[in-house]
Chains A and B, each alone.
Chain A
């Protein structure tokens, strides 16, 4: 897939899927096997009003979505398009996001078999080396469905 086509597919996935759009996701980057998404901070996404920190559930949705993005980005010209569904997702929370901080997540699809994709992702606010959360996931690939 050309970089432009990949970017367009990724933008569609990140910005038009209803939940992604409702959470305000923005595509930051995509390349084969990797992608990253920004979630701007918003008042209605807060988990603890005492701290103004984005809710853990938003980070869960963000990590799940960026994993899906990394998988979709592995599609190559001439291969059957596929859709994916999450099988298993584990998230470790290292620390809360900073108050009123935007959250970014990056994912790497590091292994694809015929039917399963394995992905690692992490979420951070200011510094990618100081993550809010790390995730590991397995997704099923349903080939032949767009």
Chain B
């Protein structure tokens, strides 16, 4: 397993909330895709049924943090500064996928965009953009 894959595995294993969500993530080379399998406890609207908006937001936020754990070489969990979430389509009772695009890694702050989709990548259910405070680590700067 590559170092990046090990860092991702470590991140997913460390955070209890990731297990609560049932979130998974995989690296294909250096591209990470996060997966949120549908589960009944993730529902926000029973009539539709639709995923809870906060779950979709949380999943995208965790995707950004997982991506940062891969590139920023710190075993510590970074801190969210701010996030803005756009809800585009209802999240149905299906698996949701997400990809993070790290727009900028500075010395202290990273800017990350995330998109989440279900059955069609070009019809996303939601998007997130956020700033994250990079935790100090021992040795080595975050790769730009």
Interface residues of A (CB under 8 A from B): 17-22, 43-50, 55-58, 60-65, 83, 85-93, 96, 145-146
Contact = CB atoms under 8 A, between A and B. Distances in A.
Nearest to B87: A86
Chain B, interface SS category: mixed
B90 to A, nearest CB: 7
Interface string B59-78: 10110000000000000110
Chain A, interface SS category: mixed
A89 B129 CA distance: 11
Contacts of A43: 16
Given A19-B55, A57-B61, A44 B19 contact: yes
Given A55-B15, A93-B79, A19 B54 contact: yes
B61 A60 contact: yes
Contacts, number: 125
Interface string B91-113: 00000000000000000000000
Contacts of B86: 87-88
30 contacts: A17-B45, A18-B46, A22-B42, A44-B20, A46-B15, A48-B14, A48-B76, A50-B77, A55-B15, A55-B17, A55-B58, A57-B21, A57-B61, A58-B17, A60-B54, A60-B58, A60-B61, A61-B57, A64-B53, A65-B54, A86-B53, A86-B87, A87-B87, A88-B85, A89-B57, A89-B84, A90-B82, A93-B81, A93-B82, A146-B47
Given A18-B46, A64-B57, 19 more contacts: A19-B52, A20-B52, A44-B16, A44-B19, A44-B20, A46-B15, A47-B17, A50-B76, A55-B62, A56-B61, A57-B17, A58-B58, A60-B58, A61-B54, A61-B57, A90-B84, A91-B80, A91-B84, A92-B82
